[in-house]
Amino acid sequence: MAMQLLCGNCNRTLDYSGERPMFCSFCGNPLGDSKSNTPSNHDPDAATVAPSTMPGSAPARKPPAPAALGSYKLLRELGSGGMGTVYEALDSDSGHHVALKLIGAAFTSSPDAVERFKQEGLLASMLTHPRCVFVHKTDDEAGRPYIVMELMEGSSLKDLVERDGPLTPDDAIAKILDVIDGLQAAHRLDFIHRDMKPSNCFLEPDGRVKVGDFGLAKSLVKESHLTKTGAFVGTPHFASPEQVRGENIDQQTDVYSVAATLFYLLTGKPPFWGSDPTATLARIVSDPVPTVRSLRPDVPAALDRVVLRGLERDRARRWADLESMRQALLNLTPGRHTTPILGQRAAAFVFDCALLWLVAFATLVAVPWIELRPAILVQQASALFLAYFVIAEAVWGCSAGKALLGLRVCTERWLEPPLWGRVGLRTLVMVGLFGVGGLIVTSLEFVTSISDWTAVAIGWGWSAAGLAVMASTMRERNQWRGLHEIVSRTRVAPAPHVAHRQALAGSGGWLLSFLGGRRLRPGMPHGSTLPEKIAGFAVRGALKWSERDKVLLGEDASLGRRVFLWMRLPSAPPLDAARRAIGRRTRLRWLAAGRQGDWQWDAILAPQGCPLPEFIHSEGTLEWSEAAKLLTDLARELSAACADRTLPQSLSPALVWVQHDGRAQLADLALTVDTEDSQVTGGPDEHRALMLLRQVAALALDGRVLRLQETPAPVLAKLPPAAKTVLDRLLGVGTPYASVEEFGNALQQVPTGEHSG
């Protein structure tokens, strides 16, 4: 008999038959026990239970929220689900607006539920990646734990799709690459999300995405007693088959959920959909996965294949990890085309033609009964030309010459091999323009008395003219496409190149190495001691010690993450409100401030990686793709800092930190003392910012320390011509830039071969 159930979270009616569903198939939230509105005690690892109602009954009334928790005044409810409710709150100490997640009153009687809630805060606080929602602190008020997080004022990916419909493939890939970046940060710390879905992906004002809600996250290093084999954890529509079956899970669980989220972004639906959650779970473990193109035919076939492989039920056939999936997505997104590609294309074409002529000549020599004549040789080469390009470019996406020079033939928009018909049309037009000379050679030999070699010369002249016609349409505005490519709607693009440098991984790894196992730094006066604690931060050692300022390495006692404790004289200007409010990923995050004896201090979240000078010293200079990413990040931060007047007073490359993923962060303090002729201290903000960019470019690409009074000189590293032009202007060789924004815009036009985001 058909029955109905009302979800207490989204107030939608679910139709079902047989066993009562555990999850809402619309919002994905767990459904409460029809007999009780309290958490289930027999299954602590089941997805968190939310109150629900039966048809005809009123939703359970939620107890009123407290007016304040600690120093946080609760302003309004932002949403609820799972184990808690999220409020917008005002921190009375700092004046900042934050998001505060308070555990539901119904869960406080369950020790397992309380522990899981606390675990969410602790695991999420370990993530300081720019693509993850930042956790400020966790605390407890009258037995009710709460988590204070960065306030995400935008909507989620779920809201975006519900409002605007499915995303374009371009936008969907860009959004999911942000999600992958955030989850990879979690995987590097050996824990998995387990509940990745569009509603847990939050949009920033600039359209970028941050991953949040680690309420079901699981450590792969330390097994929790909260996890039990056979208990389903996650949201049904985006859960992996192994989650549904109650098997052991690993990082590939997040791979499946990311692929399911990408499926949703492209189609507006999860891979398996139905009004009965129990049936949905059954389909996940039994039914074939539908293709994206079955719901949306305009999605490129190559993108569909990436999604389907991520949704493979058999983990051996699924993407091995998020990096593999990320690389596959990057391989679909070509960068902008600039003039240098024309030289590569010409060289590849010459190589292919030489190869074909050599094969044709060798074939004629090897067959004794065929007369070796120029006309026959041309005919042989023309036939090979047609077969060679059609087969190579339709099957592999590139000829031998293009593969050698890092090029590929792709569709008009995507980096995937065109269909046979388009490749055939492309090659026929090319043969018609360039290869028509071969037909002239053949016809002249039979209808005139001119010599073979004269006919060949005429044929080559005609081919040169055809080649000129073929290239006459190439313009930057049409991505340098020839006539044969415009007709066939194809193009040639650089194959993406992604650098795989072995970077310094882990937050604080270099910092501990810098300490060298000592609590005190050389240069500290004899007999000096460090405080054991400053406010809520345990002091682990001294990173810098000078008369003007000191930098101590601290640890947040409640969250276990490292911070810089920047100690300065009382006469030093304090960090202003604008600096304290910065939440950009390219700037170190301010946490707290206070006084300790005769010193004022600021707590700043410790960066990952190490300062740029140390990175170059240990790892060597950067490739262009790496340096471009670093300079792009730094230019964005410096431009923003000039706009909100938060640029540090003294600038040097020692303030630029290289993170484990190659991204840059700007610090307000340096751990090493720079020479005076390399510190930028005076002048307008824009001028100082451009000087820092100049120093960073020279150090990153050439490994040289650029002094302020040094004669301008170009970068010596091998660069694409377009990059050289941009950097020559930065380094003072060409017309200087008027602003950091102008440099940043010019840098964006240079191809890097990597998604730069």
Number of neighbours of residue 736 by Cβ within 10 angstroms: 15
Q: Whose CA is closest to 670, among 652, 688, 655?
A: 655
Beta strands (DSSP E) in 679-718 are none
90, containing H or E segment: strand 84-91
Coil, helix or strand for 515? helix
| Helix, strand, coil content of the chain in percent (nearest 5) | 40, 15, 45
Q: Whose CA is closest to 202, among 179, 181, 230?
A: 179
In degrees, to the nearest 5, what angle opens at C-alpha 130 toward C-alphas 127 and 132? Answer: 50
Q: Crossing angle, helix 420-433 and helix 452-471, to 10 degrees?
A: 120
For residues 747 and 720, give the distance between their C-alpha atoms in angstroms, rounded to a whole number.
Answer: 12
73, containing H or E segment: strand 72-81
The burial of 597, by beta-carbon neighbours within 10 Å (0-12 exposed, 13-18 middle, 19 or more buried), is given as exposed
Q: Crossing angle, helix 685-702 and helix 624-644, to 10 degrees?
A: 170
Contact 48, 1 (CB under 8 A): no
Q: Whose CA is closest to 133, among 200, 205, 218, 220?
A: 200
Contact 515, 541 (CB under 8 A): yes
In degrees, to the nearest 5, what angle opens at C-alpha 44 toward C-alphas 40 and 48? Answer: 65
The answer to whether residue 195 is catalytic is yes
Contact 688, 670 (CB under 8 A): no
Question: What are the CA-CA distances from residue 415 to residues 38, 148, 329, 430, 495 (Å)?
Answer: 52, 43, 10, 21, 8
Q: Give the pairing of strands 533-534 and 201-203.
A: unpaired
HSE-up (13 A, CA, CB side) for residue 472: 9
- What is the DSSP track for 160-204? HHHHH-SPPHHHHHHHHHHHHHHHHHHHHTTEE-S---GGGEEEP
Q: Which of 45, 181, 195, 668 is catalytic?
A: 195
For residues 171 and 174, give the distance between their C-alpha atoms in angstroms, rounded to a whole number.
Answer: 5
Which conformational region is residue 180 in: left (phi greater than 0), alpha (psi within -120 to 50 degrees), or beta?
alpha
**Active-site amino acid positions:** 195
